[in-house]
Structure 1
Amino acid sequence: MISSLRFIVDDSVSIAYPTLYRSIVRALEYVTLTRFELSFSVNKSSPNYSIVVFSDSDWATDLDDRKSTTGYCIFVGRNLVS
């Protein structure tokens, strides 16, 4: 892990079709939140029901706006919940 690495805002687009990408992500989020029978069948096939949480925070080292950022992921088995 590199602790002295600093990121800055880059205005270049790294995705060829960002609107299509956002649309696909929104559709997948909608399916996982509204189709519980699909979530049940996916979860039923993974017998590992352990809860794993990852979190990370950055305390105002953003060189552009000096704001703190925090993120987390919660997994139940192999499935991302939040």
Structure 2
Amino acid sequence: MSDLKAAPLPSIMNKQLSLNSDTPLTDPLLYRSTIGALQYLTNTRPDITFMVNQLSQFLKCFTDTHWAAVKRLIRYLSGTKHYGFCIQPNSDLSISAFSNVDWAANVDDRKSIAAYCVFIGGTLVS
């Protein structure tokens, strides 16, 4: 995947990943090792955490649609390789928290998805 065209977003908007989408892939090693590397990368790239979590749910049964989503995420990383945590010294110790919930968003089991982020001053801590 050299000479990638950068993707503006880590995923395609309004595209739900599902267990029953397209043709199953036969070689699990490449998909699983790539997801493992992406999970490690989420320590310094919180912007991809949600997408990596979504893709990790299909480690047992993945398809070419899931692999295409992984490749798109890699294209996004290629275009944003200089992004990361920005930790700045600041005397402001105010705590701000934001959350988001999508009720019954998973098309396979209708479970809800919840996410949050917590800032101290202007620094993301959780």
- Give me the TM-score of the superposition, normalised by structure 1: 0.50
Quick check: which has more Rg, 1 or 2? 1
Q: Which has the higher strand share?
A: 1
